[in-house]
Amino acid sequence: MTANAQAGRVSLQVASGHARRRAWFSRGMTGILGLALLLAVIPLALILAVIVVNGLPAMNWEFLTSTFNFSRRTPGGGYFHGLVGTLYMGGLATLMAVPAGIAAAVFLTEFPRHRLAGPVRFFSDVMTGVPSVFVGLFVYTILVRQMGFGTFVGAVSLAIIMLPIVVRSAEEILRLVPAELKRASYALGARHWQTVFGVVLPTASPGLVTASMLAVARALGETAPLVLTALAAQSVVLDLQGSGQTALPLLVFREARGAFEAGQQRAWAGALELMALVLLLTIVARAFGARRGGRS
Amino acid sequence: MSGITIDVQPMVEEPSRDVTRAGSAAGSDQPAEMDAVFELEGVSIHYGDFQAVRDISLRIARNQISALIGPSGCGKSTVLRSLNRMNDLVPSARLDGTIRYNGEDIYDPAIDPVEVRRRIGMVFQKPNPFPKSIYDNVAFGPRLNKFRGNLDELVERSLRRAALWDEVKDKLGNNGLSLSGGQQQRLCIARAIAVEPDVILMDEPCSALDPIATLRIEELMHELKSNYTIVIVTHNMQQAARASDVTAFLTMGEDRAGYLVEMAPTATLFTRPASKLTEDYITGRFG
């Protein structure tokens, strides 16, 4: 102490005067953050728990593989037609939205100064916020009134919902591709398109798969646009157009509102099936992305 | 315009050692009979309104290692990147003056910058292998050019020349990013060699490496010299002194635009610099 004072230095002891208070403050803040995390996780956990608890009793092989009974009042039967419709429309919508969305994102990242880049980005943002029922109404007005209800128009409405999600999340992913890699490619005499296909897209592929999956998961859960485009079906429909189509969320929506206990049970099982489907697709996509991307 | 200059200074296939013997050559006054790969005449480069480099004229000899040294911000990397038109990728960059590569003006509107880059390879400051396998990294360039030979052989040859083959021959399928920093940089050199360029530009290739890896790269440069012309930008004067045949010293003026002070055989520049500015820099009084 005296040595310090003589040298005009402040001792560590004095300088650390508030150390204990700081430690408590730090603990308090960590606690608050933990609480916030808990608050955020509780609704998610509750939803999962309620769906599993209510859906599991009605979930069985018959539910997964058969369509409606003759009577909706009685237990039995299942949502196989809804699963087919969901995968059919979801698959078509993915084929429409993912290539177009990734192409738009490549445009936005490779030509950021192009005069169309600003408008494209702006409208993607606006479209992300458009309520999905409007998308249904839009497709109803321009397609359904000419073509009728069906798989294709349903897929179009889902694709419109997916597109802005794919564009914006893919843009974020593509922006993460290091500029040094692009420079390395150019320095080897690659043309712009060779750099995009040879370096940018392969480097970003795991992230692009995740971005696409986000959009697919969102689309598979959509109900409102399908009410106005796919309408409904009582059995498995493989036609592209000409008859109505159904999907898991449509069936859940109808039967959950219904008066019959058996129907409500099926709706719970349908919700569980939808959730499991999205989870499964996400896991598969992640595994695929990790394998293809090959980051050390 | 380029034709006139060529007529005045006919290029003779003369061994490049002449330059080393040329002794006190200062500035751009290189002997006319030197076999120049690059000839820069009055090159000025702007980024938007900012002038990065002013009125540089110099010649770079074939099969030699030429070093560009100078303080940070003097425009040496800018000059290097102008040699294979990498500055074209910066939207605001503009070049005045002429750069001739084997007598051809590479900024002529009729010249495709991609063709320029296929002949003039580049190694960057930070090792930047693609997140692909070691094999695919080396094969990237040849595949772009629709290489029709034995690709395995080319990959092996390139890795051998880059002194990396023995370390990676059993794991060509591993990701390039799994290598150490020095190995990654040698992989990048192998990748540049695989397109069989004429010139290799190196932009501070060792600044991210430890001394041992640095020494390996320098040895490698020395081996590559017989087949390639190498131009290296370095911050490290010892490196320039150790590794290069000819050194150009650049510095910047009051307006922060870089200019060439002198260019001379390395031994001369470091022992008997013609300019006081060079002397101050190499003796550590400035920069």
pLDDT digits (tens, 9 = 90+) for B241-266: 999 999 999 999 888 899 999 999 99
Instruction: Please determine, for residue A287, whether its predicted confidence score (pLDDT) is greater than 90.
Output: no
Instruction: Please determine, for residue A46, whether its predicted confidence score (pLDDT) is greater than 60.
Output: yes
Give the whole-angstrom CA distance, residue B117 versus residue B1: 23
Suggest the residue from A114, A173, A188 to mutate for an interface test with chain B (most B CBs closer than 10 A): A188
Give the whole-angstrom CA distance, residue B184 versus residue B207: 13
Instruction: Please determine, for residue A156, whether its predicted confidence score (pLDDT) is greater than 70.
Output: yes
Q: Report pLDDT for A20.
A: 82
Q: Report pLDDT for A214.
A: 87
Counting other chains too, the contacts that B234-239 makes at CB distance below 8 Å and 24 or more residues apart are B234/B67, B234/B68, B234/B69, B234/B204, B234/B206, B234/B207, B235/B69, B235/B72, B235/B204, B235/B207, B236/B206, B236/B207, B237/B69, B237/B270, B237/B281, B237/B282, B239/B67, B239/B206, B239/B214
Give the whole-angstrom CA distance, residue B51 versus residue B30: 26
What mean pLDDT is predicted for residues B181-203? Answer: 94
Confidence of residue B20 (pLDDT cuts 50, 70, 90): very low
What mean pLDDT is predicted for residues B177-187? Answer: 94
- In angstroms, the separation between the Cα of residue B119 and the nearest Cα of chain A is 8
User: Which of A55-59, B100-104, B210-214 has the weakest average pLDDT?
Assistant: B210-214
| Side-chain half-sphere exposure of B214, counting CA atoms within 13 A | 16
N- to C-terminal Cα distance for chain B? 38
Instruction: Please determine, for residue B7, whether its predicted confidence score (pLDDT) is greater than 60.
Output: no
Could you tell me how many residues make up chain B? 287
From chain B, the residues in CB contact with A295 under 8 A are 131, 175, 177
Confidence of residue B286 (pLDDT cuts 50, 70, 90): low
Q: Beta-carbon neighbour count of residue B171 at 10 Å?
A: 13
From chain A, the residues in CB contact with B112 under 8 A are none
User: Across the interface, which of B124, B175, B191 has its CB nearest the CB of A183?
Assistant: B124
Residue B133 DSSP SS3: strand
- Give the A window 165-194 contacts with B, CB below 8 Å: 178, 180-181, 183-191, 194
**Across-strand partners of B60?**
B38
From chain B, the residues in CB contact with A113 under 8 A are 91
From chain B, the residues in CB contact with A178 under 8 A are 128
Query: pLDDT tens, A78-104?
Result: 999 999 999 999 999 999 999 999 999
Contact A191/B121, CB-based, under 8 Å? Answer: no
From chain B, the residues in CB contact with A296 under 8 A are 131, 175, 177-178
Instruction: Please determine, for residue A3, whether its predicted confidence score (pLDDT) is greater than 70.
Output: no
Tell me the CA distances in angstroms from A50 to A247, A278, B9, B33, one per residue in order.
22, 17, 87, 87
Q: Give the A:B interface size as CB pairs under 8 Å.
A: 74
Phi, psi for residue B52 in degrees, rounded to 5 = -85, -35
Instruction: Please determine, for residue B21, whether its predicted confidence score (pLDDT) is greater than 70.
Output: no
Confidence of residue A126 (pLDDT cuts 50, 70, 90): very high
What mean pLDDT is predicted for residues A163-178? Answer: 95
Query: pLDDT tens, A179-211?
Result: 999 999 999 999 999 999 999 999 999 899 989
Output the average pLDDT for chain A. 91
What mean pLDDT is predicted for residues B43-67? Answer: 94
Output the average pLDDT for chain B. 87
Instruction: Please determine, for residue B74, whether its predicted confidence score (pLDDT) is greater than 50.
Output: yes
Q: Report pLDDT for A8.
A: 73
Q: Report pLDDT for A6.
A: 66
* Under 8 Å between Cβ of B255 and B46: no
A203 in contact with B, Cβ within 8 Å: yes
Note the ipTM here: 0.84
Query: pLDDT tens, A225-266?
Result: 999 999 999 899 999 999 999 999 999 999 999 888 999 999
Phi, psi for residue A18 in degrees, rounded to 5 = -100, 15
Contact A180/B128, CB-based, under 8 Å? Answer: yes
User: Which of A282-291, B112-121, B134-143 has the weakest average pLDDT?
Assistant: A282-291
Q: Report pLDDT for A296.
A: 34
Tokens of A221: 């859960």
Suggest the residue from B130, B179, B180 to mutate for an interface test with chain A (most A CBs closer than 10 A): B130
- In angstroms, the separation between the Cα of residue B31 and the nearest Cα of chain A is 31
Instruction: Please determine, for residue A136, whether its predicted confidence score (pLDDT) is greater than 60.
Output: yes
- In angstroms, the separation between the Cα of residue B21 and the nearest Cα of chain A is 33
Contact B131/A113, CB-based, under 8 Å? Answer: no
